[in-house]
Amino acid sequence: MKESLKKQALYFCVLFLSFGFFQCKESKKNDQKDHNKEQISFDIRTAKAIVYTTAHNSKLKLTLTDTILFSDFKQPLETEIDIMVDPKNEFQEFVGIGAALTDASAETFYKLTKENQELFLEAYYDEEKGIGYSLARTIIHSCDFSKASYTYIEEDDKELNTFSIEHDRKYRIPFTKKAIEAAGGQLTMYASPWSPPAFMKTNDNMLRGGKLKKEFYQPWANYYAKFIKAYEKEGIPIWGLSIQNEPMAVQRWESCIYTAEEERDFLKDYLGPTLEKEGLGDKKIIVWDHNRDLLYQRASTILNDPEAAKYVWGTGFHWYEDWKDDNPMFENVASVNEAYPDKKLIFTEGCNEGYDLERLENEDPSLAERYGKAMIKDFNNGTVAWTDWNILLDETGGPNHVGNLCFAPVHGNTQTGDLNFTNSFYYIGHFSKFIRPGAKRISSVTSSNSIISTAFKNKNNSIAIIAMNTSNKMLDYTVTIDLNTAKLKIPPHSIQTITLN
């Protein structure tokens, strides 16, 4: 990593963490009926409306850039850009935003200086000084972002008598405990497997696909229960789990294939009943955990079966379907939300693939804007939680035992111990810092494709409006709430959060 980039990253990080950000404090939860009909409890004209901005090729990194005032409503012209926010229309309840705490992230963390370890934890998890992550994903034994393949049992141990999470005690468990502590002692955590042990699979290999053999459906279901109990014994509560990471992808790393019918039957006949039998029936089960393209097909196959659906909390999805034509299929998220409103939607993984240091040094805006666009569109289509992939990677985009090197919002240099906070970190922060668990999404509609937006009302009645500009131009726009209008400017290739309290 070039020296100038390291200095710049450190400058931005210090600037960000030393700044006294506005922070909403939650009030007691209101009765659900009253909450749904609740009006804004403050006068828009006197509300404290603060604007935070992150812009590419600038020193603006979640920086307070303006305090705005609302005045009489101004009818926007067709040539103007307006974001109309209607707090009276409320939608899904927000669960949280966070990232995966992988082996690669944990190992990289422990190669940082002690000072930068503390800085990293504060930056990600502190609500006031950082961006307030409240959600996390962990892995059930190895994935590609591990130094090697491994399981928690000895090969051919069908009874799971040798089950042990000793491997994770070196890096991942202590790293996870530090994250929980940094988050104030509570972090909504779910787990995902990439592959059963090799002997349980049709290809006798943890890598390159293969399927779970029918005779191992029950032992594999038992494996999930053992993992949850072992982690909870270590003081790491497990809120939920997905059945299989990317069940339609034959990867050169840990992978396992399930058709929709196979995943449905494994869930209703084995995993669901096993968790209930083991006293783990309260764990939230997430199906699919793959791309948006086949999201509806998988959800409908499982959720149309009442015996399977009763175990399902929600459907998880990734963003990698855009390899086909560069167009994310956000409409599929909306279709599932519309068809199954009683089930949740959770974004379970996304990262920018193909690590390239030059793209970071040149502040390629597409890296961060991919996050901003996906989060806005996914939330507007009914998603309740959003999970980034690796929370931290090293200076090579790893470690990864099959060379699948990727970007992360933060990279740690294992040679120097330094940290590089990329623009993706700040873009995610525009959501995670100001939208808190329990918030409700509210109507936010833009009059131009030049700016996209979403908006949420927190439990304490404060409002967070996110607006993103992917163009090369500074844009003028307005925000209208309850027949009150405020004027704003947004720099090229930037994102803004407007907070009202």
Q: Choose the catalytic residue: 263, 349, 369, 395.
A: 349
DSSP 8-state symbol, 353? B
Read off φ and ψ for residue 94, nearest 5 degrees.
-75, 135
* pLDDT score at 42: 64
- On the question of pLDDT at 73 being above 90, the answer is yes
Q: Supply the angle between the helices 114-125 and 3-18 in degrees, to the nearest 10.
A: 50
If DSSP codes are grouped into helix, strand and coil, which group holds residue 92?
strand
Q: Which domains does the chain have, with CATH numbers?
A: 3-91+442-500 (2.60.40.1180), 96-434 (3.20.20.80)
Mean pLDDT of 408-416: 97
Q: How many CA atoms does the CB half-sphere of 350 hold within 13 Å?
A: 30
Query: Lowest mean pLDDT: which of 7-16, 95-104, 367-376, 487-496?
Result: 7-16
**pTM across the whole model:** 0.93
Mean pLDDT of 466-491: 97
Per-residue pLDDT tens for 167-219? 999 999 999 999 999 999 999 999 999 999 999 999 999 999 999 999 999 99
Q: Could you give the CA distance from residue 146 to residue 107 in angstroms, rounded to a whole number? A: 9
Nearest C-alpha neighbor of 296 from the set 343, 250, 254: 343
Instruction: Give residue 66's identity as a one-letter amino acid code.
Output: D
Per-residue pLDDT tens for 348-357? 999 999 999 9
* pLDDT score at 228: 99
Calculate ∠ Cα 317-54-362, nearest 5°: 85
Per-residue pLDDT tens for 8-33? 444 444 444 434 433 333 333 344 43
Per-residue pLDDT tens for 291-342? 999 999 999 999 999 999 999 999 999 999 999 999 999 999 999 999 999 9
- On the question of pLDDT at 476 being above 80, the answer is yes
Per-residue pLDDT tens for 45-69? 878 899 999 999 999 999 999 999 9
Which helix (H) or strand (E) element contains residue 264?
A: helix 260-266
- On the question of pLDDT at 97 being above 50, the answer is yes
Does residue 349 carry a catalytic annotation?
A: yes
- On the question of pLDDT at 3 being above 90, the answer is no
Q: Choose the catalytic residue: 127, 246, 369, 395.
A: 246
* pLDDT score at 499: 98
Calculate ∠ Cα 314-316-320, nearest 5°: 160
Given pLDDT bands bounded at 50, 70 and 90, which one contains residue 39? low
* pLDDT score at 56: 98
Does residue 118 carry a catalytic annotation?
A: no
Q: Which two tokens stand for residue 207?
A: 């890598």
Query: Is residue 455 a contact partner of residue 442, using CB atoms and an 8 Å limit?
Result: yes
